Amino acid sequence: MLYSQYRWNTPHINLEAAAVLSQALSVSPLVGRLLVSRGVHNEQEAERFLHPDMNQMHDPYLLLGMREAIPRIKLALEREEHILIYGDYDADGVSSTSLMIHLMRHLGASYDIYIPHRSNEGYGLHNHALDWAHQQGVTLIITVDTGISAVEQIAYASTLGIEVIVTDHHEPPEILPEAYALINPKLPDCPYPFKGLAGAGVALKVAQALIGEVPGEWMEIAAIGTVADLMPLEGENRVIVSYGIESMRGSKLPGVSALLEISGVDQTQVTSVNIAFAMAPRINASGRLDHAGRAVSLLTTESLDEAHTLAGQLDLLNRERQQVVEGILQEATMQLELKIESRSGSVPDVIVLAGEGWNVGVVGIVASKLLERYYRPTLILGIDPESGVCKGSARSIEGLDIYEALTANKQYMDHYGGHPAAAGMTLHRDQLQQLETGLNEYAATVLTEADFIPQRLADDECRISDVPIKVIQEIDRLQPFGMSNPSPRFVFRKVTVKETRTMGRDKRHLKLVLEQEGQQLETVAFGKGALAEFLTPGSVIDVMGELSINEWNGMRKPQLMLQDIHVPGAQVFDMRGHADPLHAMKHFLSALDVHLRYKAGSIGAIVRKETNVSEGNSLYEPCLWVYDRKVGLFPCNAAAQQYGQEEVRTLFVFDTPETPEQLDAMLALFSGAENIILLHGSGNRLDRLQMPSRELFKRIYMLVFKWKAEPVVEQEMIPVLSRQCGCSPRMITMMLDVFEELSFITREDGMITVADNPPKRDLTSARHYQALEHMAETEQVMLDASTPQLTQWMISRMKGVS
């Protein structure tokens, strides 16, 4: 059995409402169910969902603070005041700043921009930046995607004679800054009907309040910020992103076209997925490794040549960012493994890791990767070795609001802010331990064991026959996909693997052809190439993934982008004859890491006394068991004695059982094993048994009968008989056992005496004959059978002894 990496949850759907909707819209029942699961319950709601329209946008003056802010901005324009746009360095901050630059240009304003350097300055407003603004003659600051927590800084700006309008979307703190105006849909008293705007979305509302209808290019920029900042793609955001993408497909912004080109995206087919995974990482790379101003220049330039130059620079920065992330990830993983080891193998409820020299611009990505692997709220911080200041990012799981967790431990930090799922913080290294302890104590009061099992929502369970190309085209009508409207995931159960192969230069990717009721579905899984050797043709599996249409050489086929896999029932993995069985065991455990659900005592190994597997493996020491002729199997290391056989779920067989009784004892003892991995070799062929037959026994008896005149030394007889009949000495010895049981011969003091008139007995009635037959069959199957034959034989034996 291979467990799925995630718990697959499918929503309860009102099938009656889905059927009515399907009929009313003339779409497939599957799409009707998808709409209902997304909160669309009638034809009117479906029209709004499927056809986002500018009429669905809300009046910007419903935002608290807008009626104070707009007159002040207009007054600044009339007085020709110098305005400062103060932004943030992530993709939303870049988009918000860029949108406001386009607005300032449109208004003919005198303006400057300021975005703090992520590593050197950190998030938010800074007094030294306000001093610089004062020197530049700034009298009005408009913040975008930041400022809602800047109580002290905005108070300081007031002493300089600078008024501040805050536009932000982050969670407001208990104490708000005394700014000229605060515009944030999440403010407690704000009546704005939609709370999910990104920073760029709030900036867009300011633009709408000032000039009314905005150019399509500005919607493009707002769409980038909305998607990149993982805002819910529902309500007003759905309109912003839909219009933004439509404009982007024929964009007049040189920076957008150049960025799509360098990312390898067909501009005419751009989607929200392309924004999230192609555009956003490159924009973010600017603020992570350099300065976000480079990305702002890209989104605001009017020169195509400059756009191509800047896009190329961002692409190089993104490649560098990937390398930096990998380096930090390796160091952080080693640090965490040591921490887990010191905790007797348990992972902390909240992971807190920090390192000197870790680039604070990428620690959030590292946190996301560790969360994906360990499924724990994770904080990764970079430490300045000179000052001891730590700056970091947090990513959290569904069960823990990380902003609330940080708020409960705010005494340990100089600054923090964020959302329920992600946050940033600054503190001194002396406070790290207290913060880690405090967060884990808080998590212990909030999280349960169930919260630590990752789950992934699947929209529906269906069959391959349910998803022809026509239905997949209908599903595409639900775009744009993103937060709160994810690309639909489907579960297909009991599909048969017809073909398996790897793809890519390093064979990192997996391609399967699945079949069900005569219908086939091609499946691609990026980064899962290691599974190829464990998913043999004929395997019956369950899969979850997203559907798309694969176009190649004029052919169009349905395709599943596989995200998770589950193999139900016990499995036998044939890895016989591996040159290095211990290495093979470690490879198995590493390749199938997330699909085995390790826990202490869950890995077992069976060996003969002379086989050495004492190295164990890097995660858990295997429970080691040894064959014994008298007791069958007995535990021979501390892990086996501590945990016993009941906990073993993955069993490695390094050596074949010596008897059928040992095989049955093994299967009975480890009846809870879900995976049996056979690592034994082919054995010594000179010592092999062969299936007994009357003809063979008759031939051997005729040779033995020649010695009837006098007793013969058994050890002299055996090699002679072996040479004459081509049987192994071991086979000859066991056949002599049969002759002895039937009174054809007698043994005494190493001598064999042949009976003159042996009784007539049926060979097959002899207990030793039956044992030889069973042993020969066991040996033949264990050593020589094909993988399908061996698998079927083993599983049938497992059922027989369970």
Among the CATH numbers 3.60.20.10, 1.20.1250.20, 1.10.10.10, 1.10.600.10, which is that of 686-765? 1.10.10.10
CA–CA separation, 237 and 484 (whole Å):
11
pLDDT at 802 over 60: no
Q: Give residue-wise pLDDT tens across range 465-507.
A: 999 999 999 999 999 999 989 999 999 999 999 999 999 888 9
Question: Is residue 503 packed enough to be buried (19+ CB in 10 Å), middle (13-18) or exposed (0-12)?
Answer: middle
Specify the residue for token string 């192994």: 728
The whole-number average pLDDT for the span 681-701 is 84
- Averaged over 586-590, what is the pLDDT? 88
Q: In CATH, what is the architecture of 571-681+784-801?
A: 3-Layer(aba) Sandwich (3.40)
Half-sphere exposure of residue 198, counting CA atoms within 13 Å on the CB side?
A: 33
Region 167-184: mean pLDDT is 96
Provide mean pLDDT across the span 350-373: 94
In 3-state terms, what secondary structure has residue 77?
helix
Strand-pair category, 632-635 with 540-552: unpaired
- Please give the single-letter amino acid code of residue 168: D
**What's the CA angle centered on 20, arms 15 and 22, to 5 degrees?**
90
Look at residue 615 and tell me whether its pLDDT is greater than 60. no
Q: Given CA atoms 24, 27, 32, 35 in this order, what sign does their dihedral have? A: negative
Indicate the SS3 state at residue 608: coil
Distance, in Å, from the CA atom of 34 to the CA atom of 483, rounded to the nearest integer, reads 15
| CA within 13 Å, CB half, 636 | 19
**What is the token pair recorded at 138?**
């700034």
Judge contact between 202 and 185, C-beta under 8 A.
Answer: yes
User: Three-state SS across 647-698?
Assistant: CCCEEEECCCCCCHHHHHHHHHHCCCCCEEEECCCCCCHHHCCCCCCHHHHH
Give me 216's structure tokens: 């399509």
Query: 3-state class of 271 per DSSP?
Result: coil
Q: Is the pLDDT at 619 greater than 50, yes or no?
A: no
pLDDT of residue 541: 96
pLDDT of residue 309: 98
- Fold (CATH) for 56-316: inorganic pyrophosphatase (n-terminal core) (3.90.1640)
Contacts 24+ apart (CB under 8 A), 471-476: 471/28, 471/30, 471/31, 472/547, 472/548, 472/549, 472/558, 473/549, 474/27, 474/28, 474/30, 474/31, 475/30, 475/31, 475/34, 475/547
pLDDT at 633 over 80: yes
The answer, yes or no, to whether residue 621 has pLDDT greater than 60, is yes
pLDDT the model gives residue 310: 98
**What pLDDT is recorded for position 614?**
56
The conformation of residue 485, written as its DSSP 8-state character, comes to B
Residue 617 has pLDDT above 50, yes or no: no
Report pLDDT for 305: 97
- pTM of the predicted structure, to 2 decimals: 0.81
| β pairing state of 460-461 and 519-525 | unpaired
Listed in sequence order, the residues at least 6 apart from 227 whose beta carbon sits closer than 8 Å to its beta carbon are 233, 241, 272, 275, 276, 280, 480, 482
Task: Write out the CATH class of domain 7-48+457-566.
Answer: mainly beta
- pLDDT, mean over the chain: 92
Q: Evaluate whether 667 touches 633 at the Cβ level (below 8 Å).
A: no
CB 535 within 8 A of CB 546: no
Task: Say how far apart CA 313 and CA 303 lie, in whole Å.
Answer: 15
The third-level CATH classification (topology) of the domain covering 347-453 is: Diaminopimelate Epimerase; Chain A, domain 1 (3.10.310)
Contacts of 479 (CB under 8 A, 6+ apart): 271, 272
Residue pair 248/267 in contact by the 8 Å Cβ criterion? yes
Domain boundaries, the chain: 7-48+457-566, 56-316, 347-453, 571-681+784-801, 686-765
pLDDT of residue 577: 86
Contact between 97 and 296 (Cβ < 8 Å): yes
Confidence class for position 96, pLDDT limits 50, 70, 90: very high
The arithmetic mean of pLDDT across residues 157-167, rounded, is 98
Q: Distance between terminal CA atoms of the chain? A: 16
pLDDT score for 683: 66
Q: Strand 181-183 vs strand 163-167: parallel, antiparallel, or unpaired?
A: parallel
Task: Give the pLDDT confidence of 591-614 residue by residue, as tens digits.
Answer: 888 898 888 789 999 988 776 665
Is the pLDDT at 243 greater than 50? The verdict is: yes
Q: What is the pLDDT of residue 796?
A: 81
pLDDT digits (tens, 9 = 90+) for 781-792: 888 888 888 888
- Report the pLDDT value the prediction gives residue 199, as an integer from 0 to 100: 97
SS3 per residue for 204-258: HHHHHHHHCCCCHHHHHHHHHHHHHCCCCCCHHHHHHHHHHHHHHCCCCCHHHHH
User: pLDDT digits over 280-289, tens only?
Assistant: 999 999 998 8
% the chain with pLDDT above 70: 98
**Structure confidence at residue 302 as a pLDDT band (50, 70, 90):** very high
Contacts of 120 (CB under 8 A, 6+ apart): none
pLDDT digits (tens, 9 = 90+) for 132-144: 999 999 999 999 9
State the average pLDDT over residues 453-465.
Answer: 92
618, pLDDT greater than 70? no
